């Protein structure tokens, strides 16, 4: 989505500082001993399209062997009594970004396949190789676009990962062929100038977009286009896109939109969940309060689900997208459930259930919404072995209490999840999450860092960039995310309030990254990025003077999700005091602060400011 420069700053800093990519939830499922054969009896069976006249499903060796009402399974096969429960195909989330623990989390919530729409192709290749060898059965199955097609500086380049960009139609076939060689299952294209969110960003020309779509079709690959507004959606459809990733939230659909989509045989992945979040509504917040989900959500998941896109200058309205879905229902346009996890307001797996709820709110029947997460994406993306409960299919299955064709939120009452006939070990996962939460709760009563009592972090009077507590000050720049911005810190003479010294922070912001930054970082814990309990403090206060440009102070907290929260300040030629309540940083109570930054950027150019008497009060 439009996300969040900041998320990538977070990821980049965290990768360097604390091993972000290391799984936080350590359970490893032992699948070797699983029999992958069982028979489910007395179930209500949703076959991917409807409730069918069958109550029994026999799985043998990870595949569905029989579906009926009097299945004669072998006598030694385990029987699961599912009275009152509904058996469904495992869900397919048609828009995610897979990395970290995402695929593991997805499976916990019944999403057995993720269609990734942009990730590191090396990561995707590793996962797919393991899948092909029958490993990693505790992860959702992955299909991936790999890199996306975008221009230099366009959407998709802001995450710090170098992306092979494209600027002209003549490059299209070579670009597409390179993706296919890397293993892309389909081609993802960006057509979004960020206009709908009050921004400006370069994007592909219509000619180049069409050339990439044509190049994908020449190789038999689907071309899925990320759109940002209604004119862009129409351009993509007219250029021959197979599908739209996202619906538009900038305007009501014009009277001809649904007919245009139908005439061109496109499918649409509305991603209402992330559009809600783009609209400023924390889409995932209700999920964090749901007792059926909360025990399986990590501290970071909960932090992220409670966020929305707070940094956008314009918030479009997700309701427009719901109205468009409603109009599409009168056509034959396939609508697919997708979430765009893990963008702010979402998390893998859990958010798919929110998407189903929003699709129903848009006018879909619960049955139709369930099909949008099972048989419809399977057919659309040619996943011939899944998405249905039928003989010969992979046993990717979800068993839930109650009847989700009557109440769509019944999908949240998960009894069991199977991938290729192996039951996911949700109990062990739940226990690990409980342990993580207990540790996080302990942190609230942990001792404050020694030396933090007065609240003064630094007055720089020693003539060095010392701090009274924590791991001290360091220079932080976007070079860790592939940027070219530079920064230095120097203690200089002449501090605030007539004191001897202050910290000068200066450097140059390079235009290479849209989320460029450079400046200084203070780590309050014993090591860089270790959490520190500073909940006895209520505000961050500092003096600053500078060149009149606007700067940012950013704070990382563990419970704030994966994104730093920031406040702007504009220091002038005279020393001035700035003060921000801690709660201004994404509502933190200060119990798990990992880092506080003072930085220039993202606007390019030189920067120079001084800070002094930095304190938490």
Which residues of the chain form contacts with Zn ion (CB under 5 A)? 117, 340
| C-beta separation of 45 from 561 below 8 A | no
CB of 123 to Zn ion, least distance (A): 15
Nearer to Zn ion, 145 or 359 (CB): 145
Cβ within 8 Å of residue 453, ≥6 positions away: none
Chain centroid to CA 447: how far?
Answer: 33
Within the chain, what is the greatest distance between any pair of CA atoms? 89
- How many residues in total does the chain contain? 617
Structural tokens at position 485: 């911005």
Q: How far is the CB of 192 from Zn ion (least distance, A)?
A: 11
> Can the peptide bond before residue 41 be classed as cis, meaning omega within 30 degrees of 0?
no
Q: Say which DSSP state 341 is in.
A: B
- Give min distance, CB of 202 to Zn ion, in A: 18
Comparing every residue's Cβ against Zn ion, the nearest one is 340
Least Å distance, CB 2 to Zn ion, is 9
Q: Give every strand in the sheet of 414-419, ordered side by side.
A: 44-45, 85-89, 397-401, 414-419, 422-423
Q: How many Cβ atoms sit within 10 Å of the Cβ of residue 234? A: 18
Element (H, E) at 456: strand 456-458
Tell me the β-bridge partners of 492. Answer: 502
> CB of residue 340 vs Zn ion: minimum separation in angstroms?
4
Q: What are phi and psi of 288, to 5 degrees?
A: -70, -20
Q: 228 or 455: whose CB is closer to Zn ion?
A: 228
Q: Which is nearer to Zn ion, 146 or 507 (CB)?
A: 146
Give CA–CA dist 218/335, Å, rounded.
25
Residue 110's contacts (CB-CB under 8 Å, 6 or more residues apart) are: 90, 91, 349, 352, 398, 400, 411, 414, 417
Residue 319 CB, nearest approach to Zn ion (Å): 21
Q: How many CB atoms lie within 10 A of CB 131?
A: 19
- What does the alpha-carbon distance between residue 503 and residue 542 come to, in Å, rounded to a whole number? 11
**Between residues 94 and 208, which has the closer beta carbon with respect to Zn ion?**
94
Nearer to Zn ion, 249 or 299 (CB): 249
Minimum CB separation of residue 117 from Zn ion in Å reads 5
Q: Would you state the torsion angle of the CA atoms of residues 163, 166, 171, 174, taken in this order, to the nearest 10 degrees?
A: 20
**Cβ nearer to Zn ion, comparing 148 with 467:** 148
- Beta strands of 111-217 (E only): which ranges? 111-116, 141-144, 187-191
The nearest distance, CB 330 to Zn ion, in angstroms, is: 27
CA distances from 509 to 167, 523, 551 (A): 25, 22, 12
Nearer to Zn ion, 225 or 502 (CB): 225
If the CB atoms of residues 209 and 467 are measured against Zn ion, the closer one turns out to be 209
Least Å from the CB of residue 483 to Zn ion: 22
Nearest of 243, 258, 308, 212 to residue 1 by alpha carbon: 308
Closest CB to Zn ion among residues 340, 613: 340
Cβ closest to Zn ion, residue 117 vs residue 360: 117
Q: How far is the CB of 338 from Zn ion (least distance, A)?
A: 9
């Amino acid at each position: 989505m439009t996300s969040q420069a900041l998320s990538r700053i977070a990821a980049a800093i965290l990768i360097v500082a604390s091993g972000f990519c290391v799984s936080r939830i350590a359970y490893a499922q032992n699948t070797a001993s699983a029999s992958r054969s069982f028979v489910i009896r007395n179930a209500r069976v949703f076959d991917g399209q409807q409730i069918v006249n069958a109550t029994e499903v026999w799985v043998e060796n990870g595949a569905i062997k029989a579906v009926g009402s009097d299945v004669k399974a072998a006598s030694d096969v385990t029987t699961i009594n599912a009275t009152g429960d509904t058996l469904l195909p495992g869900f397919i989330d048609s828009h995610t970004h897979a990395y970290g623990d995402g695929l593991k989390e997805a499976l916990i919530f019944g999403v057995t396949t993720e269609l990734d729409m942009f990730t590191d192709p090396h990561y995707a290749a590793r996962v797919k190789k393991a899948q092909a060898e029958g490993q990693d059965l505790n992860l959702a199955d992955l299909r991936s676009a790999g890199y996306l097609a975008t221009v230099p500086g366009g959407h998709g380049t802001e995450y710090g990962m170098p992306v092979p960009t494209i600027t002209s139609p003549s490059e299209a076939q070579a670009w597409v062929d390179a993706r296919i060689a890397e293993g892309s299952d389909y081609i993802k294209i960006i057509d979004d100038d960020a206009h709908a969110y009050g921004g400006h960003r370069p994007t592909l020309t219509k000619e180049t977009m069409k050339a990439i779509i044509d190049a994908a079709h020449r190789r038999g690959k689907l071309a899925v286009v990320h759109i940002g507004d209604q004119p862009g959606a129409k351009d993509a459809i007219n250029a021959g896109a197979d599908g739209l990733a996202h619906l538009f939230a900038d305007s009501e659909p014009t009277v001809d939109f649904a007919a245009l989509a139908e005439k061109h045989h496109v499918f649409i992945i509305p991603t209402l969940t992330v559009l809600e979040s783009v609209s400023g509504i924390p889409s995932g917040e209700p999920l964090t309060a749901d007792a059926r989900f909360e025990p399986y959500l990590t501290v970071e998941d909960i932090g992220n689900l409670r966020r929305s896109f707070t940094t956008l200058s314009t918030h479009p309205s997700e309701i427009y997208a719901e109205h468009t879905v409603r109009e599409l229902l009168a056509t034959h346009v396939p609508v697919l459930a997708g979430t765009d996890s893990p963008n702010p307001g979402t998390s893998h797996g859990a958010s798919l259930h929110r998407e189903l709820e929003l699709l129903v709110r848009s006018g879909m029947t619960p049955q139709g919404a369930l099909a949008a997460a099972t048989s419809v994406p399977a057919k659309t993306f040619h996943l011939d072995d899944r998405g249905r409960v039928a003989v010969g299919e992979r046993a990717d299955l979800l068993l839930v209490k109650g009847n989700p064709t009557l109440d769509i939120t019944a999908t949240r009452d998960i009894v069991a999840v199977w991938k290729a006939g192996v039951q996911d070990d949700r109990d062990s996962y739940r226990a690990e999450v409980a342990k993580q939460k207990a540790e996080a709760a302990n942190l609230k009563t942990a001792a404050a860092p020694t030396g933090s009592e007065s609240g003064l972090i630094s007055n720089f009077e020693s003539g060095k960039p010392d701090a009274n507590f924590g791991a001290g000050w360091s220079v932080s720049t976007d070079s860790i995310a592939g940027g070219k911005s530079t920064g230095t810190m120097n203690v200089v003479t002449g501090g605030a309030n007539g004191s001897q010294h202050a910290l000068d922070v200066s450097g140059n912001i390079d235009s290479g990254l849209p989320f460029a930054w450079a400046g200084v970082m203070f780590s309050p814990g014993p090591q860089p990025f270790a959490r520190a309990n500073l909940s006895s403090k209520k505000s961050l206060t500092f003096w600053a003077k500078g060149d009149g440009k606007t700067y940012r102070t950013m704070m990382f907290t563990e419970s704030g999700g994966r994104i730093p929260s920031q406040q702007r300040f504009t220091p002038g030629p005279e020393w001035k005091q700035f003060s921000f309540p801690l709660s201004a940083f994404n509502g933190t109570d200060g119990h798990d602060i990992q880092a506080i930054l003072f930085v220039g950027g993202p606007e390019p150019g030189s920067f120079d400011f001084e800070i002094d008497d930095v304190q938490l009060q």
